């Protein structure tokens, strides 16, 4: 513990010395690490004070109870991790500042030319990074076998490279860290050829001799072998999968080999004793982390940048592509492109998974043979229309609606394995950017879309101000709003649609305290296409929603417009309804003198 604290003090002093007198912008990941230190040191101090007080009250001064051991061990691990994180962050910060490159700080950290470059903008994966570093630093856990899972574009390769370049990992394995991309590998023999090439083993040997040479080389001293995009081989035909499994088991049987694998999906390859704890699949970045990444890459931040970061919803691949585009283009211009083209803007190069979001999604579809699962693609397209997600049991309803949907459970499992669909709180979801892709490239058929719209319209017509709300209606309120908007954007509104929007808006206002203004704005835009009574109906509900949500001046203005329109139509029934709303409006504000005339006309 004392040695770790001393090392921390030394590194702080070293950073101050090297930074003094230089123009140096501290990057977000280094800043984040520095911000964590005071919290951790305070936690360590509290633990030691608590233990010191405990010692004064017991005769067994030299013995620690189990909980104290665990607390102090955890503190030591956290301090070691933060020290390592500081070293890594400082190294890449220094590399980003040319006037530091010649400083002696870099002399003990030579770049490993066998590994692709590491992004200095990497951040937000502390938990996963710490888990892997703890495994690699624990002598009892060597060799380590672990897998980084997640959807395409979620940052698996970036995390793997951050681990491979980490000073603690470099210190442990030195130059024997190897990165092999499995992209394009269609067989075990192709994988063996690529590994042999990276290891510097002659390539004119046959498969079995080459395999023996590789295993012999790896047995000579500790190695860290990273197999990136392993799903390319794992999702090949059964014969290839079997051969690759055998090869993976052979690598795992070599005690000096630690394995780090990245692959799309949510399931670990079977047949291997994976190190515990298992890494959970990567999720999207938080907004704060996404903002740091964007600023680190683009050196820009304004209201348009904020909109772009919110639009990609923390998907690292999309985020980094947009940030690189922002280096040479104005964020406002990129946002205008985004509104016109959505994910087509997220591309820096044709046909590569790391520079094009569409390519990355297509690789997931092809790699998991989803095009042969017609039901899986229909379910993906269906989920693309449902931003609120769908509980698996509700698929039975759509299986009844869509006669061509079969084997839903098998198809859902295939989608979950691919990482294109994820499950949260027992609800199936797709990332918004994958929803954009499915809408453009895998749209529902006209018949399916017609049935989907009618289903959600019927759902709204079953409730209103005097009807009990079902669990199904509450679960589906986000999806209902999206489908109603889609109806307004793609068809001429009619009385049924207006009634559905009125009922839906009442539900959301009562249950959530908010509503979807765009529904009424689109009706207002197209009111010339509506019968007169429909105009008054939606204007009254619009005013009521605004009133219930506290937008009083807007509500009053809408009510007055409705009254004016009702008088123009000489419709006394609707005039009375508008006057009643105006009376309630004033009465709700305690303006009884103003309210009374509306009820006595």
What percentage of the chain reaches a pLDDT higher than 70?
72
Q: What are phi and psi of 353, to 5 degrees?
A: -65, -25
CB 158 within 8 A of CB 120: no
The rounded distance, in Å, linking the Cα atoms of 572 and 574 is 6
Buried b (16+ CB within 10 A) or exposed e, 487-498: bbeeeebeeebb
CB 151 within 8 A of CB 162: no
pLDDT at 211 over 80: yes
CB 178 within 8 A of CB 224: yes
The rounded distance, in Å, linking the Cα atoms of 219 and 253 is 10
**pLDDT given for residue 323 in this prediction:** 84
Mean pLDDT of 233-262: 86
The rounded distance, in Å, linking the Cα atoms of 69 and 51 is 10
Residue 404 DSSP symbol: T
The two three-digit tokens of residue 424, written as one number: 């949260």
Angle (CA) 240 246 252, round 5°? 135
The rounded distance, in Å, linking the Cα atoms of 445 and 436 is 16
Best CA proximity match to 28, nearest among 78, 83, 85: 85
Question: Please, which pLDDT band fits residue 262 given cuts at 50, 70 and 90?
Answer: very high
**pLDDT given for residue 56 in this prediction:** 47
| CB atoms near residue 450 (< 10 Å) | 12
Q: What are phi and psi of 526, to 5 degrees?
A: -110, 25
Lowest mean pLDDT: which of 49-63, 189-203, 357-371?
A: 49-63
Best CA proximity match to 480, nearest among 448, 524, 519: 519
Angle (CA) 246 248 253, round 5°? 95
Rg (alpha carbons) of the chain, rounded to whole number? 30
The two three-digit tokens of residue 10, written as one number: 């030394």
Mean pLDDT of 215-237: 85
Residue 150 DSSP symbol: E
The rounded distance, in Å, linking the Cα atoms of 323 and 321 is 5
pTM (global) more than 0.75: no
Cis peptide before 308 (omega within 30 of 0): no
The rounded distance, in Å, linking the Cα atoms of 351 and 370 is 19
* Interval 524-552: pLDDT, tens: 998 888 888 888 888 889 988 988 888 88
pLDDT at 66 over 80: no
Question: Please, which pLDDT band fits residue 569 given cuts at 50, 70 and 90?
Answer: confident
CB 438 within 8 A of CB 384: yes
Best CA proximity match to 155, nearest among 377, 437, 431: 431
Q: Which is higher by pLDDT, 162 or 187? A: 162
pLDDT at 77 over 60: no
Burial of 21 (0-12, 13-18, 19+ CB in 10 A): exposed
pLDDT at 17 over 80: no
């Amino acid at each position: 513990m004392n040695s770790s604290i001393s090392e921390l003090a030394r590194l702080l002093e070293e950073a101050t010395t090297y930074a003094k007198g230089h123009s140096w912008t501290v990057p977000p990941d280094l800043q984040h690490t520095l911000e964590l230190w005071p919290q951790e040191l305070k936690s360590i101090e509290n633990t030691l004070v608590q233990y010191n007080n405990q010692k004064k009250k017991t005769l067994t001064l030299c013995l620690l109870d189990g909980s104290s051991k665990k607390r102090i061990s955890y503190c030591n691990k956290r301090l070691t991790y933060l020290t390592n994180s500081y070293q890594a962050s400082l190294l890449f910060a220094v590399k980003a500042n040319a006037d530091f490159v010649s400083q002696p700080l870099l002399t003990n950290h030579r770049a490993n030319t066998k590994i692709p470059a590491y992004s200095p903008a990497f951040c937000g994966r502390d938990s996963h990074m710490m888990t892997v570093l703890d495994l690699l630093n624990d002598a009892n856990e060597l060799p380590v076998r672990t897998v980084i899972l997640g959807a395409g574009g979620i940052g698996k390769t970036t995390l793997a490279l951050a681990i491979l370049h980490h000073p603690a990992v470099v210190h442990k394995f030195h130059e024997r860290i190897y990165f092999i991309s499995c992209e394009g590998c269609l067989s075990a023999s192709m994988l063996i050829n690529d590994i042999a090439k990276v290891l510097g083993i002659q390539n004119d040997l046959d498969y079995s001799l080459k395999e023996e040479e590789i295993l012999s080389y790896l047995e000579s001293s500790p190695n860290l072998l990273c197999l990136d995009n392993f799903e390319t081989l794992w999702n090949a035909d059964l014969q290839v999968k079997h051969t690759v499994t055998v090869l993976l088991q052979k690598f795992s049987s070599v005690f000096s080999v630690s394995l780090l694998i990245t692959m799309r999906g949510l399931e670990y390859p079977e047949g291997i004793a994976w190190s515990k704890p298992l890494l959970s699949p990567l999720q999207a970045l938080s907004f704060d982390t996404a903002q740091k990444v964007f600023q680190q890459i683009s050196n820009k931040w304004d209201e348009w940048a904020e909109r772009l970061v919110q639009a990609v919803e923390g998907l690292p691949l999309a985020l980094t592509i947009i940030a690189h585009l922002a280096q040479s283009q104005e964020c406002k211009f990129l946002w205008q492109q985004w509104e016109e083209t959505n994910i087509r803007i997220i591309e820096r190069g044709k046909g590569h998974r790391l520079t094009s979001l569409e390519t990355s999604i297509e690789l997931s579809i092809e790699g998991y043979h989803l095009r042969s699962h017609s039901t899986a693609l229909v379910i993906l397209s269906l989920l693309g229309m449902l931003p609120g997600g769908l509980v698996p049991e509700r698929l039975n309803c759509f299986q009844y609606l869509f006669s061509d949907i079969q084997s839903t459970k098998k198809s859902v499992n295939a989608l979950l394995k691919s990482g294109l669909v994820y499950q949260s709180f027992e609800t199936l979801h797709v990332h918004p950017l994958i929803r954009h892709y499915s809408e453009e490239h895998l749209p529902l058929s006209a018949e399916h879309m017609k049935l989907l719209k009618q289903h959600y319209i019927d759902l709204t017509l079953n409730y209103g101000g005097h009807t009990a709300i079902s669990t199904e209606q509450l679960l589906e309120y986000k999806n209902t709003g999206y489908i109603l908007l889609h109806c307004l954007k793609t068809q001429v509104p009619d009385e049924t649609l207006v009634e559905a929007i009125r009922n839906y808006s009442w539900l959301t206002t009562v249950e959530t305290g908010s509503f979807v203004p765009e529904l009424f704005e689109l009706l207002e835009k197209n009111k010339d296409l509506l019968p007169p009574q429909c105009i008054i109906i939606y204007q009254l509900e619009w005013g009521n929603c605004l009133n219930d949500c506290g937008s009083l001046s807007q509500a009053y203005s809408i009510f007055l417009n409705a009254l004016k329109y009702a008088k123009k139509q000489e419709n006394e029934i609707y005039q009375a309804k508008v006057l009643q709303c105006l009376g309630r409006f004033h009465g709700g504000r305690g303006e009884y003198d103003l309210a009374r005339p509306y009820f006595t006309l």
